[in-house]
Amino acid sequence: MAERRGRLRRAAWAACLGLCGVALALLAVVLVRAYVPRPPPGPRLWGRRAALGFDLSARDRQELKEALRGAIKIQTVSFSPEDQNTTALAEFGNYIKKVFPAVFSTTFIQHEIIGGYSHLFTVQGSDPQLMPYMLLAHMDVVPASQEGWHVPPFSAKELDGFIYGRGTVDNKNSAIGILQALEFLLRRDYRPHRSFYIGIGHDEEVSGLKGAMKIAALLEARGVKLSFLLDEGSVILDGFLEGIKKPVAVIAITEKGAITANFSVEKEQGHSSAPPKETSIGILAAALSRLEQNPMPNLFGHGPEMMILEHLASEFRFPINLIMTNLWLFSPIISRIFEQKPSTNALIRTTTAITMFNAGIKSNVIPPSAKATVNFRIHPSQKVEEVLEIVKNTIADDRVKIHLQEAFDPLPISPWDNLGVQIFQRTLLDVFPNVSSVAPGICIGNTDSRHFTNLTDAIYRFNPLVFKPDDLPRVHGLNERISVEGYEKQVEFLYQLIQNSDINKLPEPHAKSQEL
C-alpha cells in the first residue's frame, strides 16, 4: 500500500514538473516573441530626396488656406443619386479653374469633364516607360443642417486654428489639396517623370455611379493600367490605441462590402379598436430586434484585421506588447476586447445598422404596411450571399420581405510590398517624422476606389491627416473640421508624394535601412 502511494506521489510530482516545464516553455516563447526584434519591412530608402522643397511663404500659406475655404463654401450636397445640387457642382468646376490657373494652362496636363461634373486630369510625365498611378478624391458632401454646429456648416469659418465646414475632411481637403500641391510644383517649373491621373468625383456619397465609375470605364477603354491608386480612407491615428504613445499611420488595403436592404411587412388595414394579435409594425420591429440582438459572427483572424496588430505589436508598452506579439495565443481575448467599442467592432464582423423605419398613417388606423432600411457593412472574409442567408435565418419570418437596394462584396486585398506602399512610407518619413509605424488596415466605409479594380490590384485608402479620438465622430457628423496646420501637412504630403513617385525602380532591401 505504501509502495503504491509512493508511486502515485512520484507520478504526481512528475506531472507537476511536466506542467511547470510546459508553462515555462510557453512563457519563454511569449517573452522571446515580445522582446526579440522582428520589425516589419520598412521603406526601401533611396538617396534622392525631393528636388523641390516645400518652402511656403506667408502669401502661399494664405492662398492655400483660402483655396480650401472657398471650396467648402460651395454646397455640393448629395442627397441621393437623383437629388444633387448640380448648380453647386458646376460652380465647383468653375472655381478650381480660377484658383489653379497653372494646372489648367499647362500643356502636358489634359483636363476632361466626365459624367457632367466629375473631373479627370491626365498629367503626362517625361518618361512614358513608367507605369502611371492615380490620385482620387471627391467634391460632393453629405447634407448638414445648422442645428448642433458651432458655426454654419458651409461658412468655412476659421476658429482657434481650425477651418469648420462640411467637406473639410470628407473630402474636399483631398480634392483641393491634390490640385494645390500640383499648382505649387508647376510654379516651380516641375514636370514629373512618371505620368499620373487625378480623378475628382461628384457623387461618391451616393455610390459614384455617374462620376468615378465613368472615369474608370473611360480609362479602361483607353487601355490604361495603373501601378497604384490612392484614395481617401484611413488616417494617422493619435491616441486611438491603448499602449502606443506615438501616432501610427494606417493605410487601408481593402474596404468592406455593403448591403442596403429594404424590409417590409404587408397586413390588412383596419380600425385600432379591434386590433389583430400582431400589426405590421410589431412584426417588422420584432424582426429588426432579432437582427440587433444577434450580431453577425466575430471573424477576428479571418481577414486582414490581424495585420495591423502584427505590424504595430512592437510599438505597444508592457504588458500589452506581450499580448500583441503573441496573437496565436491571445487572439480570443483580443477579439472579445474589440467587440466592446463600435470603432473596433466594425473591424471584426459584418455590422448591422437599422437606418430608416416608416409606418403608420393615422393614430386610430391599423397600418397596412411597415418598411425599414438596414445597412450592412460586410467583413472582408464574407460575401453578400452568406450575409443574406444569415439575415434570413435570424429573422425566421416569411412575412418579412427583403428587397436589395444595393449590394456588393468586399474589395480585394491589395499587396503590401507594392511600389505605392513604399512611396507612401517614404513620403510619411519625409513629412511626418514623428509617426512611429505604418500598418495595413481595413476601410470600414466605402470609397470611389472600388470602381477601379479592373485598372490595378494595388488600391490604397489613406488621408494624410492626424486624427485624435474626438475627430472621428465629426466625419458625416457635427462640427466637421480640419486644422490649418494639418491641411498644410496634407498638401506637403501630396507635394512630396508626386516627386517621390518619379523613382523608376526601388532599391534592394538593405538591413541597415531606417525602419518606419
Residue by residue, DSSP assigns 53-121 as -----HHHHHHHHHHHHHHHTS--BEEETTEE-HHHHHHHHHHHHHH-HHHHH-TTEEEEEETTTEEEE
Picking from 363, 298, 383, 369, the residue whose alpha carbon sits closest to that of residue 335 is 298
The pLDDT assigned to 4 comes to: 58
**Which pLDDT does position 48 carry in this prediction?**
53
pLDDT given for residue 321 in this prediction: 79
Question: Distance (Å, rounded) from C-alpha 142 to C-alpha 206?
Answer: 9
**Selected catalytic residue, list 170, 203, 204, 232:** 204
Rounded Cα gap, residues 118 and 268, in angstroms: 47
Helix (H, G, I), strand (E, B) or coil at 294: coil
Instruction: Select from 81, 207, 78, 209 the least CA-distant residue to 143.
Output: 78
pLDDT at 83 (0 to 100): 97
Q: How many CA atoms lie within 13 A of 306 on its CB side?
A: 15
Contact 135, 232 (CB under 8 A): no
What is the per-residue pLDDT for 318?
A: 80
d(CA 165, CA 152): 7
How far, rounded to the nearest angstrom, does the alpha carbon of residue 228 sit from its chain's CA centroid? Answer: 16
pLDDT of residue 26: 42
The count of C-alpha atoms lying within 13 angstroms of the C-alpha of 469, restricted to the half-sphere facing its C-beta, is 8
| Separation of first and last alpha carbons in the chain | 67
pLDDT reported for residue 481: 98
Q: What is the mean pLDDT of each run of 10 residues along the chain (516 residues)?
A: 58 52 46 50 53 91 98 97 97 98 98 98 97 98 96 97 98 98 97 98 97 98 98 94 89 97 95 92 98 96 89 83 80 89 92 96 94 98 98 97 96 94 94 93 96 98 96 95 98 97 75 43
Annotated active-site residue 205? The verdict is no
377 burial type by CB count under 10 A (0-12 exposed, 13-18 middle, 19+ buried): buried
Edge to edge, the sheet with strand 162-164 lists: 158-159, 162-164, 481-483
- State the pTM of this model: 0.89
Confidence at residue 322, expressed as pLDDT on a 0 to 100 scale: 81
- In three-state secondary structure terms, 122 is strand
Cα–Cα distance measured from residue 411 to residue 256, given in angstroms and rounded to the nearest whole number: 7
Angle formed at CA 442 by CA 439 and CA 447, multiple of 5 degrees: 120
Closest CA to 279 of 292, 263, 265: 265
**SS3 state at 438:** strand
- C-alpha cell read off for 277: 394579435
- Known catalytic membership, residue 389: no
Distances (CA, A) of 369 to 365, 404, 508: 11, 18, 65
**Which of 246, 244, 368, 388 shows the shortest CA–CA distance to 318?**
244
Pairing of strands 196-201, 133-138: parallel
